[in-house]
Structure 1
């Protein structure tokens, strides 16, 4: 029987870890929660797949506040968990501080680069997947106006935005992309009400396709788009099923594969930077029964061509995080 251990984010729960002896892997979710139907849930699905296939057990922890990051890492390392996988760029600074104190523990971070000898950094070329979504949005839009709603206003999410705008404007140079961010604090990842408000504002300005790169906040964007009869684009996990026939596609980051691979490698996980892109199928746009009727043959053919050109390097999607700029500005 598959077993996983859920650890409450409290000092009392951390204390229970001290007696653990076996080297189980561990997964720490970022703020927004394990079942955010997006980034964190993708990580969970990777851990679950590993546990289902191997019969192994693992520890998991849901963050409740920023202040718990360092304590969580140290307690898990002291408990013997190995490797320790964490989701989210916000762990970067604290991991850089903590990892040297536990040289025999392997750490895996998703969405950030930490240059330590016992850390594997997993980064995704979200811009490439977002470019594909932009191509689809341009083909599906009837108004020529589409929207982008980001979560926390940080360079990583501008990477999504920039790729989306590049793809959309490549297909429709005269079109318009409306842009909003939910906030500047981690609370921006888990505010579906605000996401819905921003979606309604963009719809009132003519947007008929809205891409939400906002974690749990995006659930409100997708719901509002469906209620108002416009199309949406999901992110991180395949969210097409949330509103069948209303979600044009989802930009999928294979966070599940990153977690699965780390758990499979165990203590022998290789340090260094691991890049997931279109060529490695690390990022993609989801086509399934829920959105098949929205994707015409011409759209699919064009999408396949663009995907091949990105993978070969013929189309170069600018990475916002290299210089904090987007060439379409």
Structure 2
């Protein structure tokens, strides 16, 4: 049995070593964050925003090879006021250069059509205080994202455009709803890190802005970091601001990864845990053999099942980079066969097989 364990340890170390080679965007998925957010006028505005309610619900769509999808259901409600003596046609842009769907825009309950797209320089939308660094929400450590540049050669970010008419001396309610993908970094940590940037800086282009309420709902038991001072209430983060915050809203999230796998922070430790289970199980069943415990065979099979489920909890996550992830499943199958061989060997010697 010692020889088999040593061979598997060597195999595991060989499997772990190549991850550093593939880590930079080819083996681990790295999708940059796509800033989304606030309406801004395409012309100099005399319109004020008397209040804004921002609702964000982050959900996990399930495991889709080669990575897990995370998206945000975003709903934002603006109370807009035209304080002038005449009706105004207001052209509006809403930044969303990334992947999005299920758009809905309405003014006082009347649907508004999206008319096109407009390019903006990043500083026009993000402001002078961009949050460039990524943060691991499990540890709080800051690091630099090594994936590709979202802005690219054009140097600009896109925004959807539409027009609304605001009556003189009146308030209107503008509601925008859509679904947006989150950025993801699988390279930096064993557990993937997701990022959402919601732009608040464009609110500064209106003649006046006040009364911002934010509510961000995240998956249960997820590790979360939010850059703005929001209060945690269960799995929801809430905050109220009388005026526009200095920075944009940035959320980093790492979902819960199962009972056993969630304890690991290192790819090497997670993969070696598969092999370490072998001597642990062998010691357990050898100790059982020396006792007078009844139903040894049944109990040892139950323990074997527990070890098998623990190993499955580990390998169902991406430890090795895609497409060599299959190697960890091969290692798992080998471990299962050796566990079964050890059980058979011990109880055959004990005369109970």
| TM-score interval, smaller chain | under 0.3
Structure 1 length as normaliser, TM-score? 0.27
Greater strand share, 1 or 2?
2
Please identify the structure whose Cα radius of gyration is greater. Answer: 2
